[in-house]
Chains A and B, each alone.
Chain A
Amino acid sequence: MNLYLPIAEISVNILVLIGMGAAVGFLSGMFGVGGGFLITPLLIFYNVPPAVAVATGANQVIASSFSGALAHYKRGTIDLKLGGVLLLGGAVGSVAGVALFTLLRRIGQLDLVVSLLYVIFLGGVGGLMLVESIQSMRRVSGGGSGEFRRSGKHNWVHGLPLKMRFQRSKLYVSVIPVLGLGFLIGILAAIMGVGGGFIMVPALIYLLRVPTNVVIGTSLFQIIFTAAVTTVLQAATNFTIDIVLAFLLMLGGVVGAQFGAAAGRRLRGDQLRALLALLVLAVGLRLGFELVITPTEFYSISSPTGE
């Protein structure tokens, strides 16, 4: 069942794309992440032009985040105020990110920067998660609970001015790191086509000391908006959103996420994190490999605007 994608301008197999969406949806349901960081590289491996893969990835992320955020909203595990400040930073960040994206595309370095960012972030986050989860597993075998949280301890972030109170998160912190984090996630959403959950979640937990139960809901909530701003901007400036591609991925993703969530409940937290870490590292390595091996064709053609 082949289908021609209008914006990506390639012919693809519908079932492969729905399957891809379902597989990533399954993982995202299982690990509670958006899955953008897996979708975009997979699309690139499937020969979708990187610019289209990135922009369409952002579009797909909206669907899975919205689905997830709805569930968290019903359970009351979203800190709307914290999410609001984060998305303020996120919106500004995504404007900057799309401008940067356009510039990189014009000078022909977009593909490189996308790959490099993936290698750095996936390698970094994957490595840290792997180390952390292995330590946690050791603690379990040593008789501990497996979960750890250094609550009450303060770091440099809590010394910054312009403090604000976030009741639900039981936090009283400066808005600077919150806005800054949102801004960074916005840029990443635009350039990498990710929701940024894989950076947002650890940053909220370890940097801002947000309680774990509201972290995922709040992260998903702000990602919806950052990804939405990114999608509209990409569509208006770079014409790189492929709605047909995005829809096929969403379709698979929404279904896959449900089964993933059920599967996730049967695994222990540290095991889940170790598995996710290995997956993240594998994708990062694969992309890094592409940068190093000698290409078969040294030359490439593009239009002056990068299309």
Chain B
Amino acid sequence: MTGRQRTRTHSLSPSSGGIAAALMVIVALLGPARAQQVESFEIGLSTNEIAITSDFTGARLVVFGALDNADARLLRQQRYDIVVALVGPRRPVVVRKKERTLGIWINRGSETFNASPESYALASTRPLSDITRESLRVSLSLGIDDLRLNIRDPETVGAAMATEPVGQVIIGESAVDGEGDAVVNRDQYASALRRIRMESGLYNQSFGSVEFVSPTLFRADLRLPADLPVGRHTVRAYLFRSGVFIRGDSERLVVVKTGLESLIDDFATRYGFLYGLFAVALAIFTGWFGRIVFKRD
């Protein structure tokens, strides 16, 4: 590894650019032989924006990707695993629990998760537990069971919602899911959140849905729910070799709503007061019109 370090130091000074370039060539030549294989791993989307109409009833999203420079022997032995996930926009949610009080069911306990993805669809070559160990899944926020619902620093929540990390950097959200004694209780709420969203299809995962269509090209089938939330989604792809996470890639996908309903919704949120006045005017007009049409008195 000394060669690589020297390269970096040299490239800082412009005068020794020639030497740095020369060393880099050497590193490039030596690299693959020494550190076995450097796979290149990339995914591509045909579009970066999905416009859904009000009668959207769900869809499939096919993500294609390329795995180049893979070790042919390991590939044959199926030691490479690929996971592709579409992570919806992260927003804070409150989960409440009903308890029977004086005979009626009342919301009593509640837990807030400050950055849970509104939707999550995952496709993988094999069940996640066969791909890699639990601790790595947790640190990668991989799979519904290990999906991160919280981001530690509330200040960064806004930033995390706006800019999901793009490119190679996909680890590094500093995060925790509950601390101290409250963890067990909090876990109940977290699993309820996962369960409710799984039942509504917002969270789904399917194994064996990433397939190699050629030795270097793979495709992942993701299932998009009918009530796919609008906002910035991130498609993340993870490459594992013999249970070790080696490379990742991600692409951004923006979901927007189109049609009259979305215009109304937009107007109602932006100009609430005007919208209210309009609603009143419409009601008065309808009432008056009904009177005219059916003159009975």
Contacts and interface: CB of A to CB of B under 8 A. Distances in A.
Co-assembled chains A and B: yes
Nearest to B114: A304
Contacts of B94: 108, 301-304
A276 interface: no
Nearest to A224: B284
Contacts of B268: 6-7, 235, 239, 241, 243
Contact of A6 (B100, B195, B265): B265
Interface stretch (B8-16, B39-47, B238-246, B272-280): B272-280
A4 B286 contact: no
Contact of A233 (B195, B265, B276, B293): B276
Contact of A235 (B55, B96, B275, B293): B275
Interface residues of A, number: 58
B287 A291 contact: no
Contacts of B286: 63, 247, 250-251, 254
B287 A63 contact: yes
A60 B197 CA distance: 33
Contacts of A169: none
A222 B269 CA distance: 28
B98 A236 contact: no
A114 to B, nearest CB: 13
User: Which of A66, A251, A303 has the largest count of B CB atoms less than 10 A from its CB?
Assistant: A66
Contact of A109 (B99, B107, B189, B275): B107
Contacts of B262: 6
A235 B54 contact: no
A294 interface: yes
A73 to B, nearest CB: 11
A258 B297 contact: no
B24 interface: no
A300 B54 contact: no
A40 interface: no
Contacts of A244: 261, 264
A257 B93 contact: no
A292 B279 CA distance: 36
A267 B95 CA distance: 50
Contact of A70 (B97, B107, B291): B291
A266 interface: no
Interface in A275-295: 291-292, 294-295
Contacts of B276: 231-236, 241
B93 A301 contact: yes
A65 interface: yes
B177 interface: no
Contacts of A108: 94, 96, 107, 110
A171 interface: no
Instruction: Classify the secondary structure of B's interface with A.
Output: helix
B273 A6 contact: no
A231 B276 CA distance: 6
Contact of B98 (A60, A234, A261, A298): A298
Interface string B96-135: 1111100111110010100000000000000000000000
Contacts of B196: 297, 299-301
A59 interface: yes
Nearest to A259: B294
A71 interface: yes
A232 to B, nearest CB: 4
A62 B103 CA distance: 36
A2 B55 contact: yes
Contacts of A59: 279-280, 283
B289 A254 contact: yes
Contact of A292 (B104, B195, B282, B294): B104
Contact of A231 (B189, B280, B293): B280
Given A6-B261, A241-B268, A301-B95, A60 B55 contact: no
Contacts of A241: 268, 275-276, 279
Nearest to A291: B104
A231 to B, nearest CB: 5
Interface of B: 54-55, 91-100, 103-107, 110, 112, 189, 192-193, 195-197, 227, 260-262, 264-265, 268-269, 272-273, 275-280, 282-284, 286-291, 293-294, 296-297
Given A298-B98, A304-B93, 20 more contacts: A4-B54, A4-B261, A6-B262, A63-B286, A67-B288, A67-B290, A67-B291, A70-B291, A75-B297, A108-B94, A116-B104, A231-B279, A231-B280, A232-B280, A236-B272, A239-B268, A255-B294, A262-B296, A299-B192, A301-B93
Per CB-CB distance, the 6 closest pairs between chain A and chain B, nearest first, are A235-B276, A254-B290, A66-B287, A4-B54, A232-B276, A299-B192
